[in-house]
Structure 1
Amino acid sequence: MANPNGVGASVRRREDPRFLTGRGNYTDDFKRPNMTHMVHVRSPYAHALVKGIDASAALAAPGVVAVLTGADMEADKVGSLPCGWQIHSKDGSPMKEPGHFPLARGRVRYVGDAVAVVIAETKDQARDAAELVMVDYEELPAVAASTRAATPDAPQVHDEAPGNVCYDWHIGDKAAVDSAFAQAAHVAKIDLVNNRLVPNAMEPRAALGEYDPSSGEHTLTTTSQNPHVIRLLMGAFVLGIPEHKLRVVAPDVGGGFGSKIFHYGEEAVVTWAAKKIGRPVKWTADRSESFLTDAHGRDHVSHAELAMDKDGHFLGLRVATLANLGAYLSTFAPSIPTYLYATLLAGQYKTPAIYAEVKAVFTNTAPVDAYRGAGRPEACYLIERLVDIAAGVAGLDRVEIRRRNFVPASAMPYQTPVALQYDSGDFAKNLDIALPLVDYDGFAARKAASKAKGKLRGIGFSTYIEACGIAPSNVAGALGARAGLYESAEVRFHPTGSVTVFTGSHSHGQGHETTFAQLVSQRFGVPIENVEIVHGDTAKIPFGMGTYGSRSLAVGGSAIVKAMDKVERKAKKIAAHMLEAAETDIEVKEGRFTVAGTDKSLGIGDIALQAYVPHNFPLDELEPGLDEQAFYDPKNFTYPNGCHVCEVEIDPDTGVTQVVAFSAVDDFGNVINPLIVEGQVHGGIVQGIGQALLENCVYDDESGQLLTGSYMDYCMPRADDVPSFTVRYHEDQPCTHNPLGVKGCGEAGTIGASAAVMNAVVDALGAFGVTHIDMPATPEKIWRVIQDATPAMAAE
C-alpha cells in the first residue's frame, strides 16, 4: 500500500496553519527583558564626505541609551563586510574589493548608506532622536547608471577602483566565435536591458543582538536564508568572534527570494552594540528602508549577436554585458553576472562556440546581488529574445528554429562551450507537450478574434534551462567561491520511534517541513506527523549552507538521504541480532525489517526502542542510539529545464497588456510533492511577469536619488494581473548524480516567464514593425511605440 504522505504525494504544507493563523515566530516577534531599539541615521546623499557628526541633541533626547558611529566601530576594530566570491579579470588580476563597513567611515556612497545608529528604550524614541543627529556632509558628484559609470569622465565611486571597474571578465573561445561569424549566412543582433528590481518579501529584514557576559556568548536572531554563513562571515571577518561563542538563529522568515542570503551591516551592528551597551538591541526595517537598503537584483545592459548557417543552425554566440554592482560588493554579487549568468548562455541549444565578456562596475546605488534566479533569468531572457530575433532573420517559425537547434536527449550528458555539463534533459519533449497544451494551432483564430475587438494578440515561447545546487565545492572554490557548498543533515530516531531531522538548509516559504518529512516517512514508514524538521539555528545544527539557488532538496535532501542510509545500516544490524538472522537476510521496505522468506519482522519503532534500551542489543558491535549525521557535496549542478508559453492581449488605445494565458511545462527530475512544486512554479511565474510588465527600480542618474522608493512608484504584481496558470511536468529525465533524482523548482517560473511574456508582447506589436522593447513593457511604453509607428503600419 502506497504511503499517503510519502514521496509523490500532494501533502499540504504542515507549516501553513501557524502562518495563516498568525502563530508564526518571526524575528520582530522576539522580545527580551531590558531590550532596546535601534534606528539608523542614513545618508540623504548618494555620494558625500562625512565631515562630522554631532550627536549631542540626540543623546539628550528622551529614552536614548547610546548613539554609535563608524568611528566607534573602527575604535573597536570592527572589520569590513566580506565578499563571498572572488572574480579575476581577463588579465588575471583580482577584482577590486573596496571596504564596506557596517557604518560608513568618512564617506557615503548611496542614499541609505548608514552613518550612525541611535539606540533607545522604544523604537519611536529612537526614530525621533535619529532626526536630531546632525551630520555635516560635503556632497560629491554621483553616478547611478552603469553605462555612465563606465565612461572615462564619470564620478569615481571608490578611489581603489579606477574607472569604477570591479572586474572585466570573460569566458568561452573568442577565436572560435570569430570564425563562426566569418562563415555565417545570417546574423541576428539585439541590445537589451535587464531592468533592476527591488525584492519585496512580506517580512522586512530584522535583527536582534544579545550578549551574555557570564559566558561571553553572542546571539544574533535575524531574517536570514543561511544562518551558518552569517555566523562564519560576521564572526570571522567582521567582529572577530569565535564560532563557538556566536549563535545565529533564523526563525520563521517571511520570504527571501535571495535578498536575505547576504550578510548585512545591520546584523553586525546589533551584535556589536548589544555587548557595548550591555543590553539586547533590536532593529526592524520599515518598507521605505527596505527599498533603500535591501540588495537589489538584475541591472544588466547587454549586446548579443548570433551567427547562423543558411538553414538557421546556430554557429556562434557573442555577448557583451555591463553589470551594475551598486556601491559595494554584496556577499555573492561578483558571481551573479559571471558564473551564474554567462555559463548559462548556451541555453537549450547546441551552439558550438560561445564567447561572453562581462564588465562589472560600481555606482552610487544600493548593492546588487542575487534575486530569484540569480543570473539565470538574465541569461534566459537574453537568449530567448535573441532566438526570436534570429527566427525573423533566418525566415523560420519561432518554434521551428528552437526545435532545429535543441540539444537532443541522445547527446546527454552534454558539454556546453561555457563550462557546464548538462547531465539529463529532453528539451524537445517539453515543447511537444506545450504545443497542444496551449492550442498553438488555434492561435491564429484567437488572434483574429482579438483583432475584431480592436485588440492586439501575441504568443511567446521561452525554452529555459537553469543550473541549481552550485557544486561541487572544489570546482566552485576554483571559480572563486570562498565557502564550501555542501549540506549537512542529522536524522535522530527517538526511543518511541518518532524522528527529528536537523538540516543545514533553511525554509522561508518552500515547504521544507513537509517535503523533508515526506522523505523520512517514505523511507521508514513513520507517520509524517511524527517527523520534526529543525533548521535555522547554529546551536542545534553544527554546519550548513542555507537555502538559495534551488538547492534545498537536491543538496539538503540528499544529505538527509545519506544520513538515513546510515540509520538503515545500523538498524539492519540491530534487527538481525533481535531476529536471530544474518544481516544479509534482512530486507527493508518502508520501515519494516523482515527476514527474507519469513513473516518475522520488526518496525523501525521496535528497533529504535532497543537502540536506546539495549537489553537485547549487539553491544560488542554497536554503540547504543539511533542517530546519524551526514554531509553531501554534489558532483555537479542539477539542470531543471522547460518550455513556458505566454499569450497576451494588448489594447492599442491605452497600451495596457493583459496576460490572458500562461502555460509551463517543466522537467524537475523526480517530484517529491506535486502540490508544493506547482505552488513554487506559480510564485516564480508571477515574479517573472512582474519584471516583464510592471517592476522597475529607477535612480536619478545625476543625484543618485531613488525615484521608485515605495509602492506608489514601484508596481508589484497583484492577483488580477495574472491569469490562472496551466502547469505540467514530466519525470522521465531524473538527475543522474543525486540519490533523489531531483533537479530543483523554486526559481524556474521566474527564469522562464519574463522572456515568454516579452516575446508575446513583441509578437503582438509585430504589425507596427516592433522587433524589441525593453522591460518593463508598461502601458505608457507600449502606447508610445504604437504612436511612433508609421501610419501604414498602424493602419495595418
Structure 2
Amino acid sequence: MDTHAFKGRVEDRRYITGAGTYTSDRILPGQLYACFLRSDRAHAEIISLDVRAAAQVGGVHAVLTGQDVKAAGIASLPTALAVNGRDGQPLIKPYRPALAQGRVRYVGEPVACVVAESAAIAQEAAERTALAYRELPVVTRALDAMKAGAPRLHENVPGNRVFDFGIGNEAKTDERLRSAKRVVRLSLYNNRVVANPLEPRSAIAQYDSARDRLTFYSVTQGVNSIRAQLAGVLGMNPESIDVVALDVGGAFGVRSQIYPEYPVLVLASKRTGRPVKWTASRNEVFLADEQGRDVICTGQLGLDAHGRFLAMRFDFITNLGAYCTPSGPFINMRATAPMTGVYDVPVAYARNRMVLTNTAPMAAYRGAGRPIMSSIVERLVGQAARELGMDAATLRRLNMIPKDRFPYTLANGTVYDCGDPIGVLDQAVKVTGWGDAHAFEARRAEARKRGKLLGRGMACCIESTAGMGGDEVELEFDPGGRLVLYTMTHSSGQGHATAFAQIVADALGMPIESVELREGDPSKRLWGGNTGGSRSTHGAGSTLFLGAQEVISKGLALAARELEAAEADLEFRDGAYRIKGTDRAVTLQALVNKHASTTPHPLNARAKANTTATWPNGCHVAEVEIDEATGAAKILSYVAVDDAGNIVNHTLVEGQMHGGLTNGAGQVLGEHAIYDPDTGQLLTGSFMDYPLPKAGLWREVKLFEHPVPTKTNPIGAKGVGEAGVTGSLPTLMNAILDALSAVGVTHFDMPATPSRVWSAIQAGQAGQPAALAVPQAD
C-alpha cells in the first residue's frame, strides 16, 4: 500500500527545529507549581505528618495530604479485570489512594503535595515537611511474597495474591504430558524494566468552579481513557472534563492511564482556584512511573517420538508491585492469548499467579504481555531442539500451523485470523543462510581461537494487534480547502501524522501536504481507544480509510451536478470523478474548493468501525559474539522477516521495528530494575546504574517483509509497533545461550550484562551449568 511519492515524515521538521509543544512547555495564566513529597521507605506506617513548616514558606498556596484526599471524596485509583480466576474468584482490588493514608507501600509513593508560586519554592517547602514512620517488614520478590508468613501489604489481600488465572484444559494437558515420549522443561525470568520515555510525566489541572469544568493537560496515549478514569476517581461527569494532549515524547504503554498525582493536581486547582502544574524529575520517573515485566515463567513441552508437539503447559508468577494498576492485571492475563505461538498444539494450559510486593506498580510495557509469552514459548522450543539434537528451524517447521489451516483456533480458544508461519520461516532461513551449518561452525571455531564465543539464535513469534473497542473519526474540510482528520488515538513518536494522512491522501488522490491530523481534540467527543497494542493503523487508520470512502461517496452527487451526468455513470480514480468511457472529469479538490464557503462542508464525513484483533508474526535470527575474558556480548547481525500485512509506509515500519528490536535488546543486555530485598530501595534508580541501549548496539539489521493481508480491516494492515520486542527477546537469548553452551552453560537468565555472563562462563567451566538461573517456584 506504500505507493505515495512522499517517503519522509511530515512531523519531523517541526520536531527537529524545536517547534514541538509538550505538556511541560505549556504555561497558563496564573499557573502554580506542585512538588510531591514521596516515601523514602518501602513499607511503613505513617506515625505523624506535620506540614505546618511547609505551609509557612513564602509563596506556598496549599499543602495537601492523604487526609485532604479522603475528605474530598477522591476514590481509589482504578483497576479492573472482566474474568474470574481459576478458583472462581474475581480480581482483588486493594485500595490505592492518590496520597498515602496511614501506610506507604513502596519507595516513591506520594505522601503529600506542596503547591507554590514556583517549582523551586514548592520543593523547598516539601523538604520542610516533618514525617515520621514506623518501619514494617519488606518483600520485593514475588516468590517471597507468596511464602507463609510473608509481610502482608493489604488487609484484603491474603497471601499477597490478587488473582490466580487459568486458561485451557489443565487435566487433558497434564494427561498428555504424562504420556509424552519426552517432556522438555524450562524456567526463565523476564526481568523488571523501567520504560523511561524521553519526556518525563507532566500534567496541568485547571478547574473552573463557576462551570464545574476541568481542563487537564497531560502526556497520554489517548484522551478518552484518561477522561474516563479521572471522572471515576473524582466523581465528575466525563462530559465536564476536557483532556488536552500535546506532543508526547514516548509512552511505551506507561502513559495510557492516570497516576496518583493527577487527581491531586485537580484537588489543588480546586483549592487554590488557579491552574496547577507538575513535571516529574528523572528520579521520579524511575521511582514512581509504572514499570514492566518481572515475571517468572515455567514451561513444559511434550513431544512424541518424531518430535511433534503434543501439549504445552505454562506457569507464571507475576510481580504486580504494591498496587493493581488499570492495565497491570489485564495485560498479564492477556499475555496467554497466543499461548502456543505459531505451533499446532492440540492441548495446552497456562496459569498465572499475580502477587503484590513493596515495589513500584506494574503496567503495560511495549508488547503488553506478549513478549513474556513469546519468550517462554520460543526459549522452550529452542531448548527442545538442543535436547533432541535437531536443527532449530527443522523442529519449528515440523510443528508450525500451515497456511491453509487459517483461521486457526488455539487450544485456549484464541483465533488467529491469517498467516503463513512456514513461509516466513523459510524466507528467514534462506536470507540468513541458516541451513549452512558447516559455514557457521567454521565461523564459531575461528571465533574461539580469538577468545570469542559465537552463537546464533532463532525465534518465530506471533502477537496480537489489539482491537480495544473500535474507533470513530471525522474528516473536515476547512475554508482553505485543506482536509483535517480527527482521531482519538495519540502519537508518541509512531508517525501518525504521516501514516494517517497518507492513507487518506492515497484514497482521495490528494497531496499529503494538504491533509492535517489532529488527535484528541477536546472539541470533539469521538469514540475510540488509545494508541497501544500496535493498533493505531489497524484501528484508527483503517477507520480513516472508511471515512475517505464516505467523502468519495458524498462527492458523487456534487460531481454529477457539475458534469451534468447521472451518478451511476461516474467513476472515481486518481483524485477525480470521470464519466465512464470519456475524458470529462472534475477533481475532488475542485469540488472541495467550490463548496468551501458552505458550513458545514458537504464533503465532511464521519466513520466508525470496530476492528477485531489480528496477528502479526515473524521469524528473527541473530548472531552474537561473547568475549570469554570479559563476558561482554556483541550483536553481530540481526535479521527479521515479518508478516505485518499491507505496509502503509516503509519508513515508519522500519523505525518501529528498529525501536522494538532495541527495546528487546536493551532488556536482554542490561536493563534491570533491581530492588534491595531487605530495604525495598531501588538500586538502579538513575542512568548511572540502569543502562539504556545506545546507538552503537546494532552493527547490522536487515528487515524483510512477508505480507499476508488481514481481512479484519479494510486496508489489510496488521500492526508492527511491538513485533520487534516480541521477537528480539527470545531470539537474542537463544543466541546467547548457544554461545555459552561451548563452555558448559545450559541455563542463563536475563540480563546478559558482562559481569553476569562472565560469572556464568566461570560457573559453566566449573561444572555448574545453571548457576545464573533465577530461583523458581515449586
TM-score relative to the length of structure 2: 0.96
CA contact (8 A) 1:669 1:741 kept: yes
Paired letter, 2:730:
A
Structure-2 separation of matches of 1:517 and 1:784: 52
**1:503-537: per-residue Cα shift (whole Å, max 9, x none)?**
11111100000010101110111111110100033
Say if 2:328 is the partner of 1:337: no
Which of 722, 725, 737 is the matching residue for 2:698? Answer: 722
Change (3 A) 1:64 1:347: same
CA contact (8 A) 1:612 1:626 kept: no
Determine the structure 2 residue equivalent to 1:41. Answer: 37
Which of 381, 387, 391 is the matching residue for 1:393? Answer: 387
User: How far off is 1:496 after superposition?
Assistant: 4.4
Determine the structure 2 residue equivalent to 1:446. Answer: 443
Q: Any idea what SS the aligned residue of 1:373 has?
A: coil
CA contact (8 A) 2:486 2:521 kept: no
CA contact (8 A) 1:110 1:704 kept: yes
Name the stretch that deviates more: 95-104 or 763-772. Answer: 763-772
**1:194-225: per-residue Cα shift (whole Å, max 9, x none)?**
10010011000000111234433211100111
Say if 2:224 is the partner of 1:228: yes
Which of 650, 656, 663 is the matching residue for 2:626? Answer: 650
Structure-1 separation of matches of 2:519 and 2:597: 28
Determine the structure 2 residue equivalent to 1:499. Answer: 483
Q: Percent identity?
A: 41
Which of 745, 755, 758 is the matching residue for 1:780? Answer: 755
Change (3 A) 1:355 1:541: same
Determine the structure 1 residue equivalent to 2:155. Answer: 159
Paired letter, 1:764:
A
Aligned residues: 766
Determine the structure 2 residue equivalent to 1:351. Answer: 345
Paired letter, 1:296:
Q
Change (3 A) 1:38 1:624: closer
Paired letter, 2:20:
G
Once superposed, what is the RMSD of the aligned Cα atoms? 1.7
Q: Any idea what SS the aligned residue of 1:543 has?
A: coil
Structure-1 separation of matches of 2:238 and 2:105: 31
Structure-1 separation of matches of 2:225 and 2:459: 34
User: How far off is 1:445 after superposition?
Assistant: 2.4
Which of 635, 640, 644 is the matching residue for 2:616? Answer: 640
CA contact (8 A) 1:186 1:393 kept: no
Structure-2 separation of matches of 1:167 and 1:749: 30
Structure 2: 5+ residue stretches without partners: 770-778
Change (3 A) 1:133 1:80: same
Structure-2 separation of matches of 1:503 and 1:364: 39
Say if 2:109 is the partner of 1:113: yes
Counterpart mapping for 1:744-763 below 5 A = 744-763=719-738
CA contact (8 A) 1:220 1:248 kept: yes
Paired letter, 1:24:
G
Structure-2 separation of matches of 1:386 and 1:51: 50
CA contact (8 A) 2:44 2:103 kept: yes
Structure-2 separation of matches of 1:86 and 1:561: 32
Determine the structure 2 residue equivalent to 1:327. Answer: 322
Which of 77, 85, 88 is the matching residue for 1:92? Answer: 88
Structure-2 separation of matches of 1:540 and 1:17: 27
User: How far off is 1:789 after superposition?
Assistant: 2.5
Determine the structure 1 residue equivalent to 2:464. Answer: 467
Say if 2:680 is the partner of 1:704: yes
Structure-2 separation of matches of 1:95 and 1:84: 7
Change (3 A) 1:81 1:243: same
Name the stretch that deviates more: 533-542 or 405-414. Answer: 533-542
User: How far off is 1:83 after superposition?
Assistant: 1.4
Change (3 A) 1:73 1:464: same
CA contact (8 A) 1:692 1:777 kept: yes
Determine the structure 1 residue equivalent to 2:651. Answer: 675
Change (3 A) 1:515 1:192: same
**1:632-673: per-residue Cα shift (whole Å, max 9, x none)?**
111x31111101111000111111111111111111000000
Structure-2 separation of matches of 1:793 and 1:266: 48
Which of 385, 402, 406 is the matching residue for 2:400? Answer: 406
Say if 2:512 is the partner of 1:537: no
Counterpart mapping for 1:163-174 below 5 A = 163-174=159-170
**1:284-326: per-residue Cα shift (whole Å, max 9, x none)?**
0000100001110001012111000011110000111101111
Structure-2 separation of matches of 1:507 and 1:607: 31
Structure-2 separation of matches of 1:353 and 1:94: 25
Counterpart mapping for 1:226-375 below 5 A = 226-235=222-231, 237-339=232-334, 341-375=335-369
Structure-1 separation of matches of 2:620 and 2:629: 28
Change (3 A) 1:793 1:134: closer
CA contact (8 A) 1:497 1:526 kept: no
Paired letter, 2:356:
F
Q: Any idea what SS the aligned residue of 2:21 has?
A: coil
**1:209-254: per-residue Cα shift (whole Å, max 9, x none)?**
112344332111001111111001111x111222222110110000
User: How far off is 1:744 after superposition?
Assistant: 0.3
Change (3 A) 1:401 1:513: same
Structure-1 separation of matches of 2:700 and 2:9: 21
Q: Any idea what SS the aligned residue of 1:51 has?
A: strand
User: How far off is 1:541 after superposition?
Assistant: 4.7
Determine the structure 2 residue equivalent to 1:571. Answer: 555
CA contact (8 A) 2:477 2:596 kept: no
Paired letter, 2:657:
V
Paired letter, 2:111:
V
Structure-1 separation of matches of 2:765 and 2:248: 52
User: How far off is 1:612 after superposition?
Assistant: 4.7
Q: Any idea what SS the aligned residue of 1:253 has?
A: coil
Paired letter, 1:654:
T
CA contact (8 A) 2:470 2:527 kept: no
Determine the structure 1 residue equivalent to 2:54. Answer: 58
Change (3 A) 1:216 1:284: same
Which of 746, 750, 768 is the matching residue for 1:771? Answer: 746
Structure 1: 5+ residue stretches without partners: 472-484, 615-621
**1:553-574: per-residue Cα shift (whole Å, max 9, x none)?**
0001121122222222111122
TM-score relative to the length of structure 1: 0.94
Q: Any idea what SS the aligned residue of 1:573 has?
A: helix
CA contact (8 A) 1:344 1:376 kept: yes
Paired letter, 1:688:
G
Structure-2 separation of matches of 1:771 and 1:424: 36
Q: Any idea what SS the aligned residue of 1:355 has?
A: strand
Determine the structure 2 residue equivalent to 1:433. Answer: 427
Structure-2 separation of matches of 1:55 and 1:84: 34
Determine the structure 2 residue equivalent to 1:510. Answer: 494
Say if 2:659 is the partner of 1:662: no
Change (3 A) 1:171 1:791: closer
Structure-2 separation of matches of 1:51 and 1:623: 62
**1:583-616: per-residue Cα shift (whole Å, max 9, x none)?**
22210113211111122211112222444557xx
Determine the structure 1 residue equivalent to 2:776. Answer: none
Paired letter, 1:685:
L
Counterpart mapping for 1:497-646 below 5 A = 497-612=481-596, 625-634=602-611, 636-646=612-622
Structure-2 separation of matches of 1:543 and 1:790: 60
Paired letter, 1:76:
A
Say if 2:114 is the partner of 1:137: no
Structure-2 separation of matches of 1:701 and 1:584: 74
**1:74-119: per-residue Cα shift (whole Å, max 9, x none)?**
1111111111434411122111001111111111111111111011
CA contact (8 A) 2:467 2:613 kept: yes
